[in-house]
Amino acid sequence: MSFKGKVKSKEGVNQISDSFKKQEIVITDNSNDQYPQDIVFQTSQDRCSLLDNINIGDEVELEYNLRGSKPWVNGKGETKYFNTLDIWKIQKVGGVPNM
């Protein structure tokens, strides 16, 4: 899937465990000026480097995969599900793609 927008924020690389790291970036979708949407995407492992040359304020176009995670049951017995938008290619609008 593809998405285009403006970078609103970019987190540093977060080392979750010895074997897993991720980085999050928020992209604003301005396709509807009345109701802009801030969408959180992420990169993980070696793909964290895709965001090295991406800065707040950049207009970007990206390709991503929608991923669901294994559900877990919280302390109240409720099953919780999570989705991630995992970037595999990103480029500044008019720029060269990072893959």
pTM: 0.83
Sign of CA dihedral 87, 21, 53, 58: positive
Q: How many distinct structural domains can be found in the chain?
A: 1
**11: DSSP letter:** P
Helices (H), 7-74: none
Per-residue DSSP letter, 13: P
Please report whether residue 19 resides in a domain: yes
Q: What is the CATH number of the domain that holds 34?
A: 2.40.50.140
What is the Cα–Cα distance from 80 to 6, expressed in whole angstroms? 30
Asked whether residue 99 is domain-assigned, the answer is no
The pLDDT profile of the chain, 99 residues, written as one tens digit per residue, is 999 999 999 998 889 899 999 999 999 998 888 999 999 999 999 999 999 999 999 999 999 999 998 888 989 999 999 899 999 999 999 866 666
